[in-house]
């Protein structure tokens, strides 16, 4: 509850800053940027930023403690098997980094298309009297449909990137269990580094303590992409130069 309230308050403060900044921008900015796109940045984008600000530190803290704690515990059970399992982590991180870039690009494109739809809606609804007066319904439908189809394409691309990301990481996660079974059996039969059956069972059951927080962190990447994309768009607007007062202006 407190975390979500904190996120909402952050969102409200950012929206307040953005609105205040908008009030100081020159007319030229509004000539080049449609109202619907500006509204999209102020609503959808900031919502995702606040969610990231709330869940980000929470996930990193809880999952970080669990990963370290479970690693130490598994190390006490059998250090060889723990190091073998831990050696798979770089593979998981590498795949995540590669897939994350594809997700980031897809979500950025998707945001632009959402803004285009909002812009088309705002323009059509606010100008409905003109549309009706000139029986311009077909033209408005054509404009809206173009933005709508672009949104479907970009969202499909984003879902494809998400599917590739989740299926790849899930595959590596399953490899963790396979590695545990195979090398555990090898160590159980080894004479140099024997692994007791009870230790092997404890390790097999407890490996989920290590994998589950890793899964949470991996899935968090999707929310991270949403939030950082929204924050980038927020900064783009805040970096717009405000209208300056002419030093020779007469009151």
Q: What is the pLDDT of residues 42-96, one digit of tens each?
A: 887 888 888 888 888 888 888 889 988 988 888 888 888 888 888 888 887 788 7
Q: Please write the tens of the pLDDT for every residue from 216-236.
A: 887 787 778 788 888 988 999
**Do residues 201 and 170 make contact, with C-beta atoms less than 8 angstroms apart?**
no
Tokens encoding 15: 């929206």
List the alpha helices (DSSP H) in 78-136.
Answer: 79-86, 89-126, 128-133
Run of H or E including 233: helix 197-238
Q: Is 11 exposed, middle or buried (0-12, 13-18, 19+ CB in 10 A)?
A: buried
Q: Give the model's pLDDT for residue 21.
A: 93
- With tokens 């407890």, the residue in question is 206
The pTM assigned to this predicted structure is 0.62
Nearest to 21 by CA among 247, 232, 236: 236
Q: Please write the tens of the pLDDT for every residue from 128-187.
A: 898 888 888 888 888 888 888 888 888 888 888 888 888 887 888 788 778 888 888 888
* Backbone Cα Rg of the chain: 26
């Amino acid at each position: 509850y407190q975390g979500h309230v904190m996120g909402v308050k952050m969102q409200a403060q950012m929206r307040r800053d953005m609105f205040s900044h908008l009030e100081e921008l020159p007319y030229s900015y509004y000539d080049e940027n449609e109202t619907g796109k500006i509204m999209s940045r102020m609503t959808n984008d900031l919502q995702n930023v606040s969610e990231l600000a709330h869940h980000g530190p929470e996930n990193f803290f809880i999952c970080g403690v669990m990963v370290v704690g479970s690693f130490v515990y598994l190390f006490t059970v059998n250090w060889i098997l723990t190091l073998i399992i831990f050696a798979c982590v770089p593979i998981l991180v590498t795949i995540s980094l590669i897939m994350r870039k594809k997700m980031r690009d897809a979500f950025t494109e998707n945001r632009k298309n959402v803004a285009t739809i909002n812009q088309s809606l705002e323009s059509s609804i606010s100008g409905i009297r003109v549309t009706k007066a000139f029986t311009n319904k077909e033209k408005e439908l054509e404009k809206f449909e173009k933005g709508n189809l672009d949104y479907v394409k970009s969202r499909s691309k984003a879902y494809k990137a998400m599917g590739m990301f989740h299926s790849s990481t899930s595959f590596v996660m399953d490899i963790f269990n396979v590695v545990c079974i195979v090398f555990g059996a090898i160590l159980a039969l080894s004479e140099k580094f024997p692994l007791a059956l009870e230790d092997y069972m404890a390790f097999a059951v407890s490996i989920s303590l290590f994998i589950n927080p890793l899964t949470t962190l991996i899935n968090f990447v999707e929310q991270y992409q949403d939030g950082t994309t929204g924050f980038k768009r927020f900064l783009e607007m805040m970096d717009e130069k405000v209208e300056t007062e002419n030093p020779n202006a007469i009151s």
